Structure 1
Amino acid sequence: MQMNIYELIKWLRINKKNIDGSIIKKIYRTYKNGIILELYKPGLEKKYLYLIPGNFVFLSNQKKNLESNSFILRLRKEFNGKNIKVDILDLERVVVVLPNDSSNYLVIELFSEGNIIVLDENWIIKYAMFYKDYKIRKIAKGEKYKVPTSSFSVPNKYEDFYNIIKNSNKKDIVRCLAIDLKLGGKYAEEFLKLSNIEKTKKSQDLSEKEIETLWNVYFNFINNNSILYDNRWVEDIDNVFENIFLKEIEEDTLEKEKQKYLKIIEEQEIALKEIEKKIEENRKIGEFLMKYAWIFSDYNIERIRKEFENLGINVDIKEEGRKIIIQLKDQKS
């Protein structure tokens, strides 16, 4: 589950004052390609800042870290001991951790597949978790970092909100809210439910009163710190995304266990088929020996070969020490 721009703005509004001015004690690797910043600041209750690329951010009082890798060790060298502040870039789902000495910047992209990128003081990419050429922008060492361009800005005035609704080319109002206003499906449907507006209605067909009612719901939403989770409004955003994170870890762990056991079962099935094949081969050998035991009354290879030729059975016979090895050739029908 990804944090939308409204949830990220609310999260920052709640936590910026707590995070700004804190010191990074240590950086850890965590699940889902994420990192944890252990923060120090007098009075800071939740000291672990989780930055999960492609997903969300949250503060927690517990640390669920994994073994460090070279990327984490490099981040520690760059940022341990730094006094920081946190912000959002250009109202996009991009979180930036800014050391007060402006030496390097840590960028976490929450959109798409996500990424963690380190920039120098001139916003030139020093290194990243993932390198990729998106055509419109390139994540590569030495490239100038660019945030994906967007004409969208969160409407804070009724006139802007009204224009988005009336000028939408989407099929219906629910798609207008979800896509044009970047609210996503769950918020779009909830807003229309609270406004008593049919979601299949076209945006252009909404009356002035309906738009005003919808605006009031929207305006209340952007000016409080509640988010919609599990069909209810909650204010503890950190707790919501921590629960989502822990649940996804559990699901991923269960899926990995499932795949491990499925692989074991698959290997056992292959082994069983090999055993069954061997049993069948030994059964045929046993039947063959029972049927033609009289041929092997002595170890005269030439006589044994002649007996098989008389029976029309094509075989290769060779002698190894005191053993006679017989190999049946493909038999013509």
Structure 2
Amino acid sequence: MVEMLPGDALREARRCHDDARDWLAKCAAEIDEKAEALQRAMDHARNRQLELDVRQLAYKDAVTSFKRLNGFCRDLERNEGPWKVQLLASGLAACEPYVTDEHRIDLAAEIQGLLSRFTPIRQEFMAFRRRNAHKNLIFIDIDGVLLSFRYWASANNNALWPVKVEDRMKHLQLDPGSVGLLVRLCEKANAKLVLTSNWRRTWPHERKELIERLIEQGLRRDLWHPEWMLPVLPNSNKWVELAEWLEGCTEIVALILDDEPCPDNAPPLDVEDVGILPVDKYDGFGAYSYFDALDFWGVEDGTVIPPDSMPMRQGVQPYPSRITRPLRPYSPM
């Protein structure tokens, strides 16, 4: 390696410094430009003075803008950023011992500073998407709803009973009948699914593997909301997490399927309408629950006729809401 003359080394060190600064400025401008496009699209989608089809188009534009911004920031964090850090370090190392503090940049910290600009608008978009992606939502539990006591008696699941929870979860089979009815309900009600189950906490593998397992068992990918599960909050429970997920979602209509009753201290939800359908944990989500859910949404399944008389059951129950209005059937969009 040929040692540079002092003057050449200083000029090269200055060039490395200036190149890094110019690159940072371009990245900042790119993030700001993409963030402004996203903000404009969200503002249009939230403008109730605009026609519905215009707002729906703006929502799609917002999703596209977010993907572009998110992709740019991800590449900056994982690929281009680390490469630029290494490039600067190599360039300055070649100029030693003539490099001074005015040539050095903590480029990794500068990159993190750029990425921090993305955090607030990302959080705003997540809340925006929860409120605007879909009007009709079904919040689902697994144990007792899609995996009942009855279906624990199946050959596959019964063999897993003595196995540790973390070792058996990936191999458990959900009741295909309950899954099939839930799929039909989503189709009839034009509703999307959000997972409330404590499987969110006990699943020992990557979150992506959980949703893929549920899809594999029949709950198709297109049935899930983009934010497909409640957040897992420390020292909390699913009822608090449900309220957190739905904060500000004042135009959403929600049906909760659970084998647990609504607790007395459940936080009220910011939704247009909400009901909870208690599911018998011994039989799971079956025909009678399905008929009750259809009634809640105000839709029919033309392929099946409910019996003239059905067993006594609770049906859909009111759930606390900050918007006071009677529980009523709702016609889907």
Q: Greater RCO between the two (CA within 8 Å, min separation 6)?
A: 2
Larger proportion of strand: 1
TM-score interval, smaller chain = under 0.3
Larger Rg, first or second structure (1 or 2):
1
TM-score (norm 1): 0.22
Larger proportion of helix: 2
